[in-house]
Amino acid sequence: MTIRTSTTTETGPTDATDATSRRAVIGDTVADVASKVGSAANEAATRLPDVAMSTRSAIESADRSVQAASDDTLAAWSALSFGLAGGLLLGGANRLLVIIAMFPAAILTMVLFDRTSRVRVRGTRRMQGD
C-alpha cells in the first residue's frame, strides 16, 4: 500500500524576503565596488603629476639620443622598426600592436628625412640674380 503525502510550499513571504535580501547584497556589493574605484581613482590622480614628469624626462632623453645618433644609425633603426612592424603584420598580430610598432619607425624616419632636407637646403647655391 502506497501512502501519498502532499507537500505544500509557501511562495509568498519567503520569496519576497529572499528577493529583498538579494537586492541588499547586490546594493552592498555595488557600493563596495564604487568606493574601491573611487579610492583607486584618487590614488591615480595624486600620482599623475609624478608620472607626467617622469614620462616627460624619458621622452626628452629619447629625443636627445635620436638627435645625437648618426644618419646611418637612424637608417638602421628605421629599417629594423619597419621590419618588426611588417613581420608583426604578416604574422597576424593585433592591429593595435602593429600600429604601436610603427611609431618608432615613423619617428626615426621623420628625423632622418628632416636632417637630409636641411642638408640639401643649406647646400644649394643661389643664382647671381636672386
What CA–CA distances, in Å, run from 40 to 35, 79, 93, 112?
A: 9, 41, 32, 42
Mean pLDDT in order along the chain per 10 residues (130 residues): 56 68 87 90 88 91 90 92 94 93 91 82 58
Q: Alpha-carbon torsion 43, 48, 49, 53, what sign?
A: positive
- The tens digit of pLDDT for each residue in 29-51 reads 988 898 999 899 888 888 888 88
